[in-house]
A and B are shown apart, each in its own frame.
Chain A
Amino acid sequence: MNRHCSCEEIYRMLSEYIDDEIDSLMKEMMEEHIRECERCLSLLHTIEKTLSFSREIHRRKNVPQRVVERVYYEIRIRYRR
């Protein structure tokens, strides 16, 4: 591999790395850098943790039945044939 990633590139492209939106060569270069760079590894870990916390606190909740009933009612009274 001839080219190396800089910390700035990692910072700019980390989301694309997380989303798997980069080609395999770039992915390999980024991983090589992250393995050696504690700062970029911390950045990766903390972004991933931010995302997992966000998902955890927004777990899907059940729709209250009265809310569904209200929608049914609105549709029925407006569009009953």
Chain B
Amino acid sequence: MTKTDGELVLVERAKNGDVKAFEDLIKITSSRIYNLGLRLLHNKEDAADIMQETYIAAYENLPKFKGDSSFSTWLYRIATNFALMKMRKEKGRKISEERLKEISRHLYDTTFTDWSESPVDHLKKQELKEVLDKAIESLPPKYRSVFVLHDIEGLPIAEVAEILSISKGAVKTRSHRSRLYLREKLSEYFKGSGVKNLMRV
């Protein structure tokens, strides 16, 4: 029996009121859902809330789950929607979509320095983490969700499109713009403009 088949058997049992089967589904999938929340919201409390809201909504909506997608994809969709609602209420400044488009249109005028082999000691790693986290947080929600699902969770483009109910083309565009923007932020860091300057969006 494959992992997905196993999940489907548990889903059928849960649909028939077997709460223990649903708990087994939580056991199998909770690490992915909790970490998705952490990666999207950078906050343990929010990740825990997203996880709880996701499983309650999933349990209530189990009769609507027809198995057109895998159970995990369906859960990812619910969790991402809850996270998007939270992200839209965030107060921090976001980079504008216009600027993201501009980066993907005009950055090519600049010369690129290859910092990919630069030595990174422990202190630098901490700074880099700060710079990257801040930059990811400053991405508008619809870009951040694509970046996290595709580049951090490692989901294929088609699955990200399904989770977010957008076209594959839109996933590719948002992913490319996000990558270029984050790369630019790290380039600024390696050019030595200092962490303080980079904290500004």
Contact = CB atoms under 8 A, between A and B. Distances in A.
Interface in B16-72: 17, 19, 22-23, 26-27, 30-31, 34-35, 38-39, 44, 48, 51-52, 55-56, 59
A56 B26 CA distance: 26
A3 interface: no
Contacts of B52: 67, 70-71, 74
Contacts of A61: 34-35, 38
Interface residues of B, number: 48
B26 A43 contact: no
A23 interface: no
Interface in B86-123: 104, 107-108, 111-117
A-side binding surface: helix, strand, loop or mixed?
Answer: helix
Contacts of A49: 115-116, 186
Interface in A43-71: 43, 45-51, 53-55, 57-58, 60-64, 67-68, 70-71
Nearest to B54: A71
A54 B182 contact: yes
A39 B109 CA distance: 11
Contacts of A15: 172, 175-176, 179
Contacts of A35: none
B128 A80 contact: no
Contact of A54 (B17, B27, B108, B151): B151
A58 B55 contact: no
Indicate the member of A12, A63, A79 with the most B CB atoms within 10 Å: A63
Interface of B: 17, 19, 22-23, 26-27, 30-31, 34-35, 38-39, 44, 48, 51-52, 55-56, 59, 104, 107-108, 111-117, 128-129, 132-133, 136, 147, 151-152, 154, 157, 172, 175-176, 179-180, 182-183, 186-187
29 contacts: A11-B107, A15-B175, A15-B179, A16-B176, A19-B157, A19-B175, A21-B157, A42-B113, A43-B183, A45-B116, A46-B112, A46-B187, A47-B180, A48-B116, A49-B116, A49-B186, A54-B151, A55-B154, A57-B132, A57-B133, A58-B35, A62-B31, A63-B35, A68-B30, A71-B51, A72-B23, A72-B26, A75-B23, A75-B56
